[in-house]
Amino acid sequence: MHRPGCDPDDMRESDFLCDFCHRDWTVAAPFVEGHHGSCICRHCLETAALAPAPASDPFHCSLCLEERRDPAWSTTSARLCRRCLVQSARVLARDPDGGGTPPAGT
């Protein structure tokens, strides 16, 4: 997510917040951006990969915004579908700043 009140024409790393833990990019880098400015940090991806939730009622994934039922991870502020977990892990693995390895469990 983007920090409320941020200037869209002058986005800084501190204006990007992880939708799941609300830490900003400067603290929680690396980040993966989803649709509509939604973001997840590597820390949350690793946590999600190690602790996937069981299938649930239909929910809207915070990253792809699509309705899902597949195993998801959620915090009080956002929910993640399995597909986004895998895709985000791949993005991080390709990103030289992302550590070069997929998060454990993905």
The residues that touch Zn ion, with contacts defined as CB under 5 A, are: 18, 20-21, 41, 44, 61, 63-64, 81, 84
Burial label, 90 (beta-carbon count in 10 A; 0-12, 13-18, 19+): middle
Q: Which is nearer to Zn ion, 1 or 61 (CB)?
A: 61
Buried b (16+ CB within 10 A) or exposed e, 41-62: bbbbbbbbbeeeeeeeeebebb
Q: Are strands 67-68 and 72-74 parallel, antiparallel or unpaired?
A: unpaired
Q: Which is nearer to Zn ion, 10 or 53 (CB)?
A: 53
Q: Which is nearer to Zn ion, 77 or 101 (CB)?
A: 77
Least distance in Å: CB of 16 to Zn ion?
11
Least distance in Å: CB of 7 to Zn ion?
23
Least distance in Å: CB of 52 to Zn ion?
13
